[in-house]
């Protein structure tokens, strides 16, 4: 075998291994069915209802923290249609407002819209996991790019929601978000004794 043919064959094998890894052993490879019957059941109407406190970080393409944020969220539901209003406060001082409209199908399918989402987002609830895929348009200050987003939320046994999202442009990961979401306990008045 000639050195050129060996190099080409080696390159093809590396590309095939990378494709297999991407398809079967990566963040992108997980499916909602992977979480069927595991852990607590994620009910959007319950777990994304009322006031929610969120803290998180955004990692840039080099894997370093590019931004930190806290967010106040408020979820309201009318049957299977919900609104999740969000106010993000970034470490840069920037404040961002977003309102999601979520529609939950009886089989666990989800559709989602927001002002900065291009088209319709879609996903599924299964066991303790929620997956949502959508395209988001960044603000003009952030370049105005449209990114493909895969968003996963995982319900923990104590009710905390762990959120991990990857943002891609032309299939290349350009950012990742990791956050926690916790429902804010209501202050119920107890009768005076």
- 3-state SS of the chain? CCHHHHHHHHHHHHHHHHHHHHHHCCHHHCCHHHHCCCCCCCCHHHHCCEEEEEEEEEECCCCCEEEEEEEEEEEEEECCEEEEEEEEEECCCCEEEEEEEEEECCCCEEEEECCCEEEEEEEEEECCEEEEEEEEECCHHHCCCEEEEEEEEEECCCCCEEEEEEEEECCEEEEEEEEEEEECCCCCCCCCC
Looking at the domain assignment, is residue 70 inside a domain?
yes
Are β-strands 161-169 and 109-113 bridged in parallel, bridged antiparallel, or unpaired? unpaired
- 24 lies in the same domain as 55: no
- 37 lies in the same domain as 4: no
The reported pLDDT for the residue numbered 100 is: 96
Looking at the domain assignment, is residue 190 inside a domain?
no
- 63 lies in the same domain as 120: yes
12-26: average pLDDT: 66
Which residues partner with 111 through β-bridges? 103, 122
Residue 15, pLDDT > 70, answer yes
pTM recorded for the entire structure: 0.80
Per-residue pLDDT band at 193 (split at 50, 70, 90): very low
Mean pLDDT for the chain? 88
Looking up tokens 């926690």, which residue turns up? 180
List the domain range (segments joined by +) for residue 49: 32-183
- 1 lies in the same domain as 12: yes
- 117 lies in the same domain as 79: yes
- 7 lies in the same domain as 58: no
Per-residue pLDDT band at 96 (split at 50, 70, 90): very high
Residue 33, pLDDT > 80, answer no
The CATH number of the domain where 115 resides is what?
2.40.128.20
Kindly state the tokens that stand for 85: 């209003």
Q: Do residues 46 and 31 make contact, with C-beta atoms less than 8 angstroms apart?
A: no
- 94 lies in the same domain as 161: yes
- 172 lies in the same domain as 106: yes
- 41 lies in the same domain as 100: yes
Domain count, the chain: 2
Looking up tokens 């106010």, which residue turns up? 87
């Amino acid at each position: 075998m000639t050195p050129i043919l060996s190099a080409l064959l080696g390159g093809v094998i590396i590309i095939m291994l990378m494709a297999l890894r991407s398809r079967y052993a990566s963040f992108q490879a997980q499916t909602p069915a992977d979480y069927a019957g595991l852990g607590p059941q994620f009910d959007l109407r319950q777990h994304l209802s009322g006031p929610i406190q969120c803290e998180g970080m955004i990692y840039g393409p080099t894997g370093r923290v590019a931004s930190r944020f806290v967010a106040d969220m408020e979820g309201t539901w009318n049957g299977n249609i919900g609104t999740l209003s969000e106010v993000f406060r970034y470490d840069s001082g920037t404040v961002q407002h977003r309102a999601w409209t979520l529609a939950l199908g009886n089989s666990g399918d989800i559709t989602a819209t927001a002002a900065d989402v291009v088209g319709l987002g879609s996903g599924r609830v299964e066991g303790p996991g929620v997956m949502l895929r959508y395209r988001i348009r960044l603000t003009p200050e952030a370049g105005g790019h449209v990114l493909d987003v895969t968003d996963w939320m995982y319900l923990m046994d104590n009710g905390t929601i762990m959120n991990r999202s990857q943002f891609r442009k032309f299939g290349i990961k350009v950012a990742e978000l990791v956050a926690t979401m916790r429902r804010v306990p209501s202050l119920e008045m107890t009768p005076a004794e």
